[in-house]
Structure 1
């Protein structure tokens, strides 16, 4: 597959050094609690507060993960609202659940739309191994527009799965991998790292990998944040996120999380006393989600930098049938505010919400 834009510099692949990295994982800085809570009233005026989240908006948005099995974006558009839909400059359409992938690919490629489709993510089963007779849309060296990328799920490592990913990367495909292994256990992280190490060992592996369901990972909302800070699963997340960042051409999607609840909406201005109480409760829930999100954004940014994180509004594909649905517009507001409240600069917001996806999917500026 051809790429029309140069990627930012990435670290060298760790090759077969996974064992060494486990013995001495990258030590991440500990994020201060002040990153997740507002400053107290005694904060000196010599230390400026971060910009208000309402004032930091991406100049444009590329939604890197929109699930639309038929290619129809009308449902996504109805959810997006003005804040997301008004800034959109392109989408990556995932055909998870499509019945006739080849037909949908043809229809989407031929259709004219006010929302540009940068890429189409087609289902790709790693466990089936290297495809013996790839469909026409996977023809080697295809230069079709939109770009065809592969959407796969990882649950356990196997030789066919290793061979399939190695083949896809050698062919130059971008592969979106939804991680469905148990990352609550150390063994789940280690197995996935071993899988990537073997699949990316070839020097001819020139494709890119994008991980989903890792930023943020599945979490238990009943676990208080102050306990999460020192919980073994969170420490493991910090360490292994750093290890994964050592793989060259590896990116992460920032998607609605698998937390067993829909994304809390931004409360509307109250019109009555009862509405004011409901709005206060909704704002409290939203604040709790943002604090938890920032717990995971911090280590991911420390590991990958702002150049390897891509915003998407649909959850990881296998979760759509089991988790409550989130509104694309609600998730965008929550995601944007979570980044903005970390005090990041405008160029970082622009990178996460648009520019990185343009680079990965080869879109011209």
Structure 2
């Protein structure tokens, strides 16, 4: 049998042909796959410990004192945050109208190691838009510190809408202390309605609004956290916080909550002993109470961050305007530690912590542009 001739073998593509149109593959730097060369560990770095995460600087966006006296605030913050404070927003909420101008002048001229970024003067929403505002509310005022407004919201009215719209059109930053019962039917809706209608006109979008007493909102500590998760009030808080975040130029103050109890202190580190003294037992009780507060606080921070991001939340050390008979006292230093740890334990970045504790306040209370 004669041999059958095989067809010629097809030529394989040469090297040049294979390189003619190479496929572009995504590349990652080798550093992604290389652990840090520390000489002590071959593990990747984890999240920074909450105990070591501190804001680079602090601007306290809510220091409440009707007389303008900062002595009490300084004594509470001196050893805890005094060295990091770069400015404050002084609220004169509760000051008599006849005394406001003098207090503003005294506070503005007083020499202090703590700069006053802004002074929030009383302003009544229920009085409507002022026909003849006092001199310190004159339109276009370029006074330093910046003049802001502080007011209280209790119930909706056309006068309140007109007053807030006027203030925002004058480029003021308005701190609204929410003292209405948000848990009642229509409570949250009334607040959203006020902000929405007051900012409806283009001119009213020049100013900024800061809400107090909603982060965290008033709460009942007797309600266990496991039940709070499914409670109607918490679900409403989640929904309405998202609604508020849609309003232009709106911020929220992160203040000591009105929970009918003083802010728990930060216990000092106790040494271990064989026989536990009574002081150590008390310290352990303080730690337990503080951890319980942090768990509850973080439940409210979560929806607020989802709605507003870290860019529209301001740290302040004074509670909202105290109600008659309220026992929600707070030490500024204790609240700072509780607030810092609550945010740090969420695993946020350094820049986010710096935004909440300083940078956002500068933006919210910056002098209005002409």
- Normalising by the residue count of structure 2, what TM-score does the alignment of the two structures yield? 0.83
Larger mean CA deviation between 241-250 and 127-136 belongs to 127-136
Larger mean CA deviation between 48-57 and 128-137 belongs to 48-57
Name the structure 1 match of 2:363. Answer: 359
Measure the CA separation in 2 of the matches of 1:186 and 1:174: 29
RMSD: 1.7
* 2:61 corresponds to 1:75: no
Name the structure 2 match of 1:157. Answer: 156
* 2:290 corresponds to 1:291: no
TM-aligned CA deviation for residue 49 of structure 1:
5.9
Residues 340, 159 of structure 1: alpha-carbon distance in 2 compared, 3 angstrom cutoff: same
Measure the CA separation in 1 of the matches of 2:308 and 2:92: 27
TM-aligned CA deviation for residue 322 of structure 1:
2.3
TM-aligned CA deviation for residue 347 of structure 1:
0.5
Give the number of equivalent residue pairs: 319
TM-aligned CA deviation for residue 47 of structure 1:
9.8
- 1:261-272 correspondence runs (5 A): 261-270=261-270
Measure the CA separation in 2 of the matches of 1:321 and 1:350: 35
Q: Secondary structure at the match of 1:89?
A: strand
TM-aligned CA deviation for residue 153 of structure 1:
0.5
Measure the CA separation in 2 of the matches of 1:47 and 1:316: 43
Name the structure 1 match of 2:128. Answer: 129
Residue pair 2:210, 2:253 contacting (<8 A) in 1 also: yes
Q: Out of 281, 285, 289, which is 1:281 matched to?
A: 285
Which structure's CA Rg is the greater one? 2
Q: Secondary structure at the match of 2:214?
A: strand
- 1:159-308 correspondence runs (5 A): 159-205=158-204, 206-270=206-270, 273-308=277-312
Residues 297, 48 of structure 1: alpha-carbon distance in 2 compared, 3 angstrom cutoff: farther
Name the structure 1 match of 2:35. Answer: none
Larger mean CA deviation between 197-206 and 212-221 belongs to 197-206
Residue pair 2:64, 2:318 contacting (<8 A) in 1 also: yes
TM-aligned CA deviation for residue 270 of structure 1:
3.3
* 2:137 corresponds to 1:138: yes
Name the structure 2 match of 1:54. Answer: 51
Q: Secondary structure at the match of 1:58?
A: coil
Q: Secondary structure at the match of 2:202?
A: coil
Q: Secondary structure at the match of 1:211?
A: strand
After superposition, what is the alpha-carbon deviation per residue over 1:114-137, rounded to whole angstroms, capped at 9, x for unaligned? 100000010100001111221110
Name the structure 2 match of 1:341. Answer: 345
TM-aligned CA deviation for residue 71 of structure 1:
1.2
Structure 2: tracts of 5 or more residues without a match: 1-42
Residue pair 2:257, 2:328 contacting (<8 A) in 1 also: no
Measure the CA separation in 1 of the matches of 2:260 and 2:311: 29
TM-aligned CA deviation for residue 268 of structure 1:
1.6
Structure 1: tracts of 5 or more residues without a match: 1-45
Answer 1 or 2: higher relative contact order, Cα 8 Å, separation at least 6. Answer: 1
Name the structure 2 match of 1:311. Answer: 315
Measure the CA separation in 1 of the matches of 2:46 and 2:282: 29
TM-aligned CA deviation for residue 275 of structure 1:
1.4
Residue pair 1:124, 1:152 contacting (<8 A) in 2 also: yes
Residue pair 1:186, 1:236 contacting (<8 A) in 2 also: no
Larger mean CA deviation between 294-303 and 354-363 belongs to 354-363
After superposition, what is the alpha-carbon deviation per residue over 1:250-288, rounded to whole angstroms, capped at 9, x for unaligned? 000000000001110011233662211111111000000
Q: Secondary structure at the match of 1:91?
A: strand
Measure the CA separation in 2 of the matches of 1:112 and 1:265: 31
After superposition, what is the alpha-carbon deviation per residue over 1:61-114, rounded to whole angstroms, capped at 9, x for unaligned? 000000121111110000113231111000000012223111101111111111
Residues 145, 343 of structure 1: alpha-carbon distance in 2 compared, 3 angstrom cutoff: same
- Normalising by the residue count of structure 1, what TM-score does the alignment of the two structures yield? 0.84
Q: Secondary structure at the match of 1:121?
A: strand
